[in-house]
Amino acid sequence: MKFLQKSALAGWLVCLLLIMNIPIAWGQQGDCGMIAKPDLKMEARSAILLEPFTKEVLFEKNADQVMPPASVTKLMVMLLALESLEKQQIKLTDVITASPEACKMGGSQIWLEPGEQMTVAELLKAVCIVSANDASYALAEHLAGSEENFINLMNKRARELGLKNTKYVNTTGLDPASGGPGNLTTARDMALLASEVIKYPLVFKWTGVWIDSLRGGKSFLRNTNNMVRFYQGCDGLKTGYTTQAGYCLVATAKRNGVRLVAVVMNAPTIKDRAKDIGKMFNYGFSQYKAIKIYNGGEVLGRVKVFKGVEDTAEVMVSKELNVILKYNQKGEITKTVEIDQMITAPVAAGQKVGRVLIKIDGKEYRSINLITKKAIPGSSYFELFVRFLAGLVKRAVN
């Protein structure tokens, strides 16, 4: 009887601690129905598994331990380049001339020669696939005028994203030649950064490729991320290695509509790095399901167009929209379509004209932009006058 009383008391105490938001390490399913955190044996010193839309952490090990990221640094270079492309500050076809400084970078590289020219697209390919330090430096110079200016942009963007334990001193992740402190970050910060990078589908054009080339096929490229070839659904994202940083990998994979981000830092070997990432992915995909709401490009309505050659424009979903839920979750999903009442010509294809808002059990989950399906030119004054007269005649007849 005393044992039963003690067990009941322990159960109530556990529930009280949960209500007070005091963390508890479970060895098995607890008295209040809480499921144990996974017991994943990691060889890496630090690791984290994240669902990137909700930012829910499924697993972590020393995720806030500050350590060098090696070439995982280039995730920020990739993000700033992708953001600049979206803002049309640069174009993929822009030609960049390699400076002598860019060509002096050691480690992984594509052996740029001083004065050699490559496009932004080619340099991004080199950064994403083979982690080329010279390509990263050349991109930084093109985007900001100098590596020093670009480093300031990197640190500024890190602060904006809430990467509290991240500091950059160079664009490559190499140990500084001066022997001073190099780049520093955490697994958690890199998971959050990766969640931003994957918002740009263009990146998968390079990070998801196993074999490619440059210089008209003369320069062979093989992805440094073996998971792209050997793990189903993996299509990125960035590897890193130095003696001090160990083997690092920020990876992302998508299966059945569910995308996950996993990070390992300071793994002993390449095999350990891949094994740890695979363990986390396998666990994560066993926990989540995707419910499709809309296909990318699906038309949801029309918007009125003022002064256009057409009176209305078709409005479509900008990209695929899924709701990611735990397998045992049964929340009520509601969707609200919001379309602008009227827009003025000329209308660009892909112009934002509204959004879809998704709620689960009345709580906002996420939203996605609605865009115009095609461009609509503006009408001339003569065309507008003719259409005005036609409208008057039509109303008179009716």
CATH superfamily of 70-286: DD-peptidase/beta-lactamase superfamily (3.40.710.10)
**What DSSP string describes 315-326?**
EEESS-EEEEEE
The confidence score (pLDDT) of residue 233 equals: 98
Low-confidence ranges of the chain (pLDDT < 70): 1-37, 382-388, 391, 398
- In the chain, CATH 3.40.710.10 sits at 70-286
Q: Which helix (H) or strand (E) holds 10?
A: helix 2-19
Q: Which residues are catalytic?
A: 71, 74, 131
Amino acid at residue number 141 = E
Greatest CA span in the chain, whole angstroms? 95
Cα(390)–Cα(217) distance, integer angstroms: 60
The confidence score (pLDDT) of residue 383 equals: 67
DSSP summary character for residue 269 = S
The confidence score (pLDDT) of residue 1 equals: 42
Task: Give the number of other CB atoms < 10 A from CB of residue 247.
Answer: 23
End-to-end CA distance of the chain: 90
| Nearest alpha carbon to residue 252 among 311, 192, 300 | 192
| Nearest alpha carbon to residue 129 among 150, 108, 148, 114 | 108
Residue identified by tokens 């000329």 is 346
The confidence score (pLDDT) of residue 4 equals: 38
Q: Which two tokens stand for residue 67?
A: 């350590």
The yes or no reply on domain 292-382 and CATH 3.40.50.300 is no
Cα(231)–Cα(115) distance, integer angstroms: 39
- In the chain, CATH 2.60.410.10 sits at 292-382
